[in-house]
Amino acid sequence: DHPPPSFLSVFDQMPDSPNDIYRAVSRLWAPWLQEGALRTFQQGGFYSQVARPGLRIISLNTILYYGPNRVTQNSSDPAGQFTWLLRTLEDAERDREKVYVIAHVPVGFLPFTQNTTAMRREHNERLVAIFLRFSHVISGQFYGHTHRDTIMVLRDQTGAALNSAFVAPSVTPIRNVKEPSSNNPGFRVYLFQLDSYSVQDLWQFYLNLTEANIQQSAQWRLEYVMTEAYGLRNLSPGSLLGLGFSLIPPVSKAFQTYFAHFNVNFNPQLPCEGICKVNQVCAVLHVDQRGYQDCISAGWV
């Protein structure tokens, strides 16, 4: 989340070494995590485990790379997570597994402001480089943190889409001081293919908070099905890059839809033009510093 600096205390930090919090949570999760997963979790709050045949979950502690987490700010590899991630991806590649990466703070740039990565810039660059290198192993990346509904495409130097990231909106509403609007509560369900584990579709559900407050009851509804909302065949990186490009034209129905989804339909009439739209679109199309800078300078891609 995004607490203002005055709310941060030296105690409100995720350290890169064993501590009471990691130990307590690992005890809570002991029924579901295997021995090796519990061991790395106690060291740095991250773990990996096979979820079903051929599919490995890598749960990263990206808070270690989060700017306000000052206890790790001078470390190039907090808790050795980068080293561990590389080795885990190499093993997955060798064993012909597919990987889903899950984490709280996402890679890439915050879409509601300009030139601000969600995690520390240098850590973002390093993580993106690792994900690109192992894009043939990683079948999905799933994040939260921003409370907003966004997608991002990871591209190589030729601009080809190698991987993607989904940021799911949260159940809790929040508004950053730099944002004009909040979000409705939301949750989602993904459809994936059984052999490749590629993401096929997603169902986004939401609660109209204004209506719920008036009626004093919660009516959760389907907000959209992603392939239907944008006319996509599936949610492959290539399809999502196509969607990203379709957001660019000055008059883009896809962008209107995308931006209404961004706030989980909290305020579907809210306009996003000019710099607001450039920030949104560049955040979809580029997660690395260089590509993003070029996009912002060019006004688009």
What's the closest the beta carbon of residue 105 comes to Zn ion, in angstroms?
6
| Residue (1 or 77) nearer to Zn ion, CB | 1
Cα three-residue angle 243-207-203, rounded to 5 degrees: 40
145 binds Zn ion per the rule CB under 5 A: yes
**Burial group, residue 199, by CB count within 10 angstroms (0-12, 13-18, 19+):** buried
Residue closer to Zn ion, measured from CB, 105 or 161: 105
Least distance to Zn ion, CB of residue 1, Å: 4
Stretch that binds Zn ion, among 48-56, 84-92, 142-150, 289-297 (CB under 5 A): 142-150
Q: Quick check: 119 and 127 in contact, CB under 8 A?
A: yes
- Calpha distance 23→232 (Å, rounded): 44
Q: Output the smallest distance, CB 235 to Zn ion, in A.
A: 24
Q: Among residue numbers 96 through 115, which ones bind Zn ion (CB under 5 A)?
A: none
Compute CA distances 130 → 83, 125, 135, 282, 298, whole Å.
Answer: 11, 9, 8, 21, 27
The secondary structure element, H or E, covering residue 278 is: helix 275-285
Least gap, CB of 283 to Zn ion (angstroms): 17
CB 204 within 8 A of CB 184: no
Q: Quote the least distance from Cβ 67 to Zn ion, whole Å.
A: 12
Smallest CA-to-CA distance from 261 within 110, 107, 150 is with 150
Only one of the segments 46-54, 70-78, 139-147, 246-254 lies at the binding site for Zn ion (rule: CB under 5 A); that segment is 139-147
Residue 294's Cα: distance from chain center in Å?
A: 22
Closest to Zn ion by CB, 172 vs 297, is 172
Which residue lies nearer to Zn ion by CB, 5 or 250? 5
CB of 19 to Zn ion, least distance (A): 19
- Which residue's CB is nearer to Zn ion, number 102 or number 191? 102
Q: Residue count at the site for Zn ion (CB under 5 A)?
A: 2
Select from 28-36, 72-80, 141-149, 156-164 the region that touches Zn ion (CB under 5 A).
Answer: 141-149
> How many C-beta atoms surround the C-beta of residue 215 within 10 A?
10
Binding site for Zn ion (CB under 5 A): 1, 145
